[in-house]
Amino acid sequence: MSVFNKINDILLNSNKPSIELEKLFKEDEFIKSDFRIIGDLKNVPQDKKFHPEGNVWNHTKMVVDLAARIKEYSENSKNFMWSSIFHDIGKVKTTRFIKGRYRSYNHDIEGEKITYKILKNYMNEEEAVNISEIVRFHMHHIYILKDLPFADIEKLIKSSNYNDIILLFICDKLGRGSKGIEEKIDTINEVEFILEKIERYEANINIEISKRLQKINDIVIK
């Protein structure tokens, strides 16, 4: 089985993908593959204030494991799970220590490019484009929440990946350090607030995702 197929199988069928992925990363076949860049995330530090869990791979493992728990609510579980493991891949090239902090400016933009460049060789064009787009939008929960100029809400709401982008917001936010119940509740409330802001652009766009959010809430608030 190829490295791609091994990762794909883990992402789609494991209840906690991080365990099997750690084992795979030690195999020579993985180390020589295009996917070795995922392993490079272990060498990318993050600001402890926002990421007490440590390096980018530690964060990614938490995101992937949570994504596995809620993937049944995604529109396309394969695309959703691949976007969860690639969402911060751009940090490999963009992370710098600036003014006393590790920063990764434009890692979402760079991540889209890297994701597409790799996955187009293993998936059909539509899948590679869709996964890359989810990666590109994964920072929008911050951009929208803080009214930053980087947000492109009009393009977001037109995306066929809208539902899965919102789900990745949740995973990305919760995949940090050790979150208590109150923090998890705050995260869900934060996503609901973001959805309200999006509805200023298009009313009723969140009817279905809001229903799913209630069920996801029962999964993550444990």
Write the CB contacts of 102 (distance below 8 Å, at least 6 apart in sequence): 45, 46, 47, 95, 96
pTM, to two decimals:
0.96
pLDDT for the residue numbered 26: 95
Domain borders along the chain are 3-220
Q: What is the mean pLDDT of the chain?
A: 95
Please give the Cα distance from 17 to 7 (Å, whole number).
9
pLDDT in tens, 89-98: 999 999 999 9
> Does residue 59 contact residue 175 with C-beta atoms inside 8 Å?
yes
pLDDT in tens, 1-25: 899 999 999 999 999 999 999 999 9
Is the confidence at residue 178, as pLDDT, over 80?
no
pLDDT for the residue numbered 22: 96
At 97 the three-state DSSP class reads strand
pLDDT in tens, 81-117: 999 999 999 999 999 999 989 999 999 999 999 999 9
CATH class of 3-220: mainly alpha
Write the CB contacts of 137 (distance below 8 Å, at least 6 apart in sequence): 108, 156, 159, 161, 165, 168
* Average pLDDT for 147-155: 96
